[in-house]
Structure 1
Amino acid sequence: MPEPTPTSVTQIPGVFAAHATLAEGGTGCTVIVCPKGATGGVDVRGGSPATRETDLLRPEETVQVLNAVVLSGGSAYGLAASCGVAEELERQGIGLNVGAGVVPIVSSACLFDLPVGDFSSRPGIGEGAEATRRALASQGVPLERGCVGAGTGCTVGKLAGPERAMKSGVGECVLCSADLVCGAVSAVNALGNVCDPDTGEAIAGTLSPDGTRVADACELLLDANERSGFSKTAEENERANAARQPAPRTNTTISCVVTNARLTKAQATKVAQMSADAYAHAIRPTHTTSDGDTVFVMATGDVDAAPDVVGVLATRALELAIADAARSAWGAYGLKAAADL
């Protein structure tokens, strides 16, 4: 009998994933684990990244295995969650054998969600370990989507200030082509709007002044620039400048592409670079100076596939995962979600 088509990255052989959620604090983390190791790649394209062990994924570096990717809230504080992941993997005997023991190879990226709930609440060692235990104990259970894990405090559309932003979350999509499988998990905390990659229609983002629809974020930014030199009052000028110069380093979309393809590190890096185009297809504007956009790739090596084919399928999966992050979110922390419109 043919194998059932995966609907979640957790149904790809050798891949485990789960969340730890701090709902009251408005943050959390998401962990994707490959106990047997995967070939890793990464593309860091945003202007304000918070990352761990990305240099190790460069093709010229000698370590060839990646055991886990952590997507976390908490800004730079959230990098501590990856320490909990590494410690839990060590307890399970998972990692690079260095003779005296194992060293788990864990890469991580964080997003800025500190103002959404409790500023002092951020994922740490305990949450990283918890998510790892849940992942390893729940093989095949579909990953939750929406305002959970790294998506708990995600928001989008902040070009007109936090009062007109909307709620986003973590999304997922898995696509297949013959035996090739590519899945994507994305926590979307973008400055811009999330749009349907096929129609270009806004799903969530900067609300209109009356809060009934999503405004065009790019037009808002350009309009503010054009009006800034002609404002009649200091108050109008201040508003225009605020729109032209959004708060720095407060937005990030972080994602992980998982595939069963057999790739080298150089090929996985190229797939990550190709996949990053999904951000431009589904987020407008994207890769701004206020975003820390990062895409990881984990390739389990079970199927032969051309890197370009993997890149095309992965890009499509990531586009749909980004859109899913906006559609799966629910209103929280005083913010509307797409479902509320």
Structure 2
Amino acid sequence: MAAASSMSSVFGAVPGRVNGLADVPGIAVGHAPARDDAGKPVSSGVTVVACPSGAVGAVDVRGGGPGTRETDLLKPSNSMQSVHAVALCGGSAFGLDAAGGVMAGLEERGIGFPVFGDAVPEGPLVPIVPAAVIFDLPVGSPADRPGADCGREALTAALGALDELPGVSGPAVNGCVGAGRAAT
């Protein structure tokens, strides 16, 4: 097996800053915890992979009880060519509500699929945000579920990392954060 230093030059690939998804230009990752009524973080959350310029997406849904939203758009037989974000959510099927917050946040920023094409730039936009959930209800309280606000917060974190906004620094964090807060 070749040494790691010689492998880094294969096809001109060079390890990124953190050797992760966030090293890909135009893609950012953001996390947010679900919050209780007082705003305190609880056991669930959301992770958003944002690609505001669009990226080709694909999916392979597995398991006996998948919880997904908009994943059928990613089948090769459908006409959608790109996604603007992917929402990975805790909260079981309840967590799919978080994708609505991601969509709303993208729409506010003028990011989405132009419904009437490029000929009508002021026409409506529909952000394409496939989402999937994990079953984390037995960890913490089953009432700890991410909603639209949590999805919007994770999107803001992702876009902040992408744009290097003030107050947001460093690469995407790993571990029990975002959708993985209660993952076991």
TM-score range normalised by the length of the shorter chain: 0.7 to 0.9
Aligned equivalents of 1:14, 1:132: Cα separation in 2: 14
| 1:135 and 2:158 are equivalent in the alignment | yes
Task: Pick one of 116, 119, 133 that aligns with 2:142.
Answer: 119
Task: Pick one of 5, 8, 17 that aligns with 2:29.
Answer: 17
Aligned equivalents of 2:13, 2:64: Cα separation in 1: 42
Pairs within 5 Å for 1:24-173? 24-99=41-116, 100-139=123-162, 141-155=170-184
Deviations 1:144-192 (A, max 9, x none): 111110110011xxxxxxxxxxxxxxxxxxxxxxxxxxxxxxxxxxxxx
* Partner AA of 2:174 in structure 1: R
> What TM-score do you get using the length of structure 2 for normalisation?
0.79
Aligned equivalents of 1:125, 1:112: Cα separation in 2: 18
Normalized per residue, the structure richer in strand is: 1
Q: Which is bigger in relative contact order (C-alpha 8 A, separation at least 6)?
A: 2
- Extract structure 1 runs of 4+ deviating beyond 4 A: none
Aligned equivalents of 1:3, 1:59: Cα separation in 2: 28
> What TM-score do you get using the length of structure 1 for normalisation?
0.43
Aligned equivalents of 1:24, 1:115: Cα separation in 2: 17
* Partner AA of 1:121 in structure 2: D
Q: Tell me which residue corresponds to 2:15.
A: 5
> Retained in 2: the 8 A contact 1:24–1:118?
no
CA RMSD between the two structures: 1.7
Aligned equivalents of 1:75, 1:45: Cα separation in 2: 15
Aligned equivalents of 1:17, 1:151: Cα separation in 2: 13
Aligned equivalents of 2:80, 2:48: Cα separation in 1: 20
Aligned equivalents of 1:4, 1:137: Cα separation in 2: 24
Q: Shift of the alpha carbon at 1:3?
A: 8.3
Aligned equivalents of 2:58, 2:90: Cα separation in 1: 21
> Retained in 2: the 8 A contact 1:27–1:73?
yes
Give structure 1 stretches of 5+ with no counterpart. 156-341
Pairs within 5 Å for 1:211-250? none
Q: Shift of the alpha carbon at 1:101?
A: 1.9
Aligned equivalents of 2:56, 2:111: Cα separation in 1: 15
> Retained in 2: the 8 A contact 1:24–1:117?
no
Mean Cα deviation higher: 2-11 or 52-61: 2-11
Q: Which has the larger radius of gyration?
A: 1
Aligned equivalents of 2:13, 2:109: Cα separation in 1: 29
Give structure 2 stretches of 5+ with no counterpart. 1-11, 35-39, 117-122, 165-169
Q: Shift of the alpha carbon at 1:24?
A: 4.7
> Retained in 2: the 8 A contact 1:9–1:142?
no
State the aligned residue count. 154
Normalized per residue, the structure richer in helix is: 1
